[in-house]
A and B are shown apart, each in its own frame.
Chain A
Amino acid sequence: MQPESNDGTRREAVKAQTVFDELYGKYKDAVFSYACYLTQNLGEAEDLFQDAWLRVVKHLPEKVDMKSIKTWIFTIVTNLYRDALRRKRVRRLFFFQKAKDPDLEEVKLPWFAGANVSDPAEMVSHAETRKEIVQSIARLPERQRRVFVLKEIAGFQQAEISDIMKLPVGTVKSLIHRAVKRLQRELSSYNPKGERAKCDAKILNV
């Protein structure tokens, strides 16, 4: 009886490892990107990434439904981030620290490292655009940022985001709308095309 159960356990372990390898290979980049956008800090993103995968492994279901597994993994990341944020707030309260102002804070992440562009001038402009967009996303309020990143970067549908964030779909829609409006406002001040469009709109209104 004992060797049989041992065999069964070993088989289960091998199966779980295969499933994990598949999931890890498929979603590690997406999870890391999401963690970076959430934390805006490489060290914290690395911690979140590692903790999230350990949590995934700990609760890896017996029967993995590949359709909803991505939502499940991102729910874990979101919940862990929320916990970390709560701990940070308590720590700030205890040590009378002030929250960092996202408007003054510069995002230090490897997005700005360099793109696959041959022309140096083009590379600089690419890096600038990227920087502006990433900074604008970083300045979004917490919930708007999470929803926006899940939609535009992780590629989730609004219904899936509502599952991940445990929010009604209507609230998700409203948060995305507000996030896009805010980004539009922020980016139009950088983007000459945006400025022109704004002027056009004014002229048309007159």
Chain B
Amino acid sequence: MRCQDIERLIIDSSERKLSQQEQRTLDQHVNQCAECARFQDDLKNIQVSIKKIPALTPPEKLERRTSALCHAELNSRPASEKQLVSQTRPSPVPWVIWVALISLIVLTAFLFGSLFKDIGLNQPLSFESIFVLCLMLQNAVMLFFAPVIIRKYRWPKQRARLV
């Protein structure tokens, strides 16, 4: 067995009882190998030292506040599973948003035509073409922020940060 396997066996021995054969192999190896013996000693020392470190307890204020918040959360729990589902499911996207998005896409596509015509004919950009470009820019900005706005609308503010 390699030293690495023995070291893993040493780690295992702190958590479970080794089989007789494993124990014998371990003892034989440790008797011959100073590095593994040191590893065993060091692991034991580390474990003993860690045990001496006093357990940390949460500050009393934090403990009380967390407990109060959790009790409040439990009291505000929905009465039934159905209520829970209706609370966690997002509300549907309102039809106004769908109509606005579709009309924006149709309008952009329609105005896109005149812009391409201008560019294709190598003509100076007309007022409509500049308008289309501005509209496209506005649409791009809106589509960039749309997910954020829709998410905020669909998922009502869960809970203010409880401090």
Contacts and interface: CB of A to CB of B under 8 A. Distances in A.
Interface residues of A, number: 56
A33 B55 contact: yes
Contact of A158 (B15, B39, B66): B15
B74 A204 contact: no
Contact of B70 (A36, A53, A177): A53
A80 interface: no
A32 B58 contact: yes
B50 A153 contact: yes
Interface in A12-67: 13, 16-17, 20, 24, 28-30, 32-33, 36, 46, 49-50, 53-54, 56-58, 60
B9 to A, nearest CB: 10
Interface string A97-109: 0000000000001
Tell me the dominant secondary structure on chain B's binding face: helix
A49 B66 contact: yes
Shortest Cβ-Cβ A-B pairs, 3 listed: A201-B34, A32-B58, A204-B34
Interface of A: 5-6, 9, 13, 16-17, 20, 24, 28-30, 32-33, 36, 46, 49-50, 53-54, 56-58, 60, 109-111, 115-116, 126, 129-130, 133-134, 151-153, 157-158, 173, 176-177, 180-181, 183-184, 187-188, 191, 193-194, 197-198, 200-201, 204-205
Interface of B: 4, 7-8, 11-12, 15-16, 34-35, 38-39, 41-43, 45-47, 49-50, 52-59, 62-63, 65-67, 69-71, 73-75, 77, 79-80, 162
